[in-house]
Structure 1
Amino acid sequence: MKILAVDYGDSRTGLAVCDPGEILATPLKPQIEEKAMAKVADRICQAARDNRAELIVVGLPRNMDGTEGARAQKSRKLAALVEQASGLPVRMWDERQTTITAAGFLSESGTFGKKRKAMLDAVSASVILENYLAWRKNHPGEQ
């Protein structure tokens, strides 16, 4: 199944998609730089159509103790908008530490400055997707 992952942020939103075999997560470019939630939702829905996604996974930014704050509520609201507009199932997925992991990958590859800024959220979305795919592999039949 093709799955689209979303790393929603105040300034930028990153997207990633997997292959139908659910093996490889690939960051999508360019990142979404819209700030209005409705516009971000529209761009996510367009990306889902363009990539023939059957499921959308939205990162849920929980606090390190597992509680949810204002940022998590914004992500839940975006997920609801996307689910309604796309007609696709949307799942929330814990995104704690994904930006740190993505930044580490970019540092290892020597990506810094403007180039890093232009990719960080999309790479974070691919980390979210990789984590979700690993969970699915270990929980067959569940979404």
Structure 2
Amino acid sequence: MGLDQATEDLRQSGASTDQQHCDDRSVYALSSQADPETVKIGVSQDVGARRKSLQSGSGPPLVVRWTSSGGGWLEDRLHGRFAARALGREWFDFRDTADPVQMIAQAVQELLRQAGTTSPAPALRKTVRPRQQGAATGAARC
């Protein structure tokens, strides 16, 4: 998915806008000390606890390299942006890049700029549209 498509998806999303608005989880980039160019881009309410959970299945120490607000909205767009680098699930190959964290941070800034904002939280608020008359109201509000 290109950045233009990701931005269009943001503008047209509607099925779970309340969840997107309420998603206060952090997006993170994590890698091992031994292989800093193989990066997991994920989302978690507690990044430190998530790192510890992942560490139990990994030999070399894992290091959180980058975090941002933005929840699932930002995680999904980053996965789309780096799809060509995907190694499986949420792991990405940045071996041809001098600084994976800088590349991720620049992608975030570009996504936000295209969405017309400078931080993930306002980008999420932009997705919330007024409910249509007669629409279901089962989703929880913040």
TM-score of the superposition, structure 1-length normalised? 0.28
Larger radius of gyration: 2
TM-score of the superposition, structure 2-length normalised? 0.28
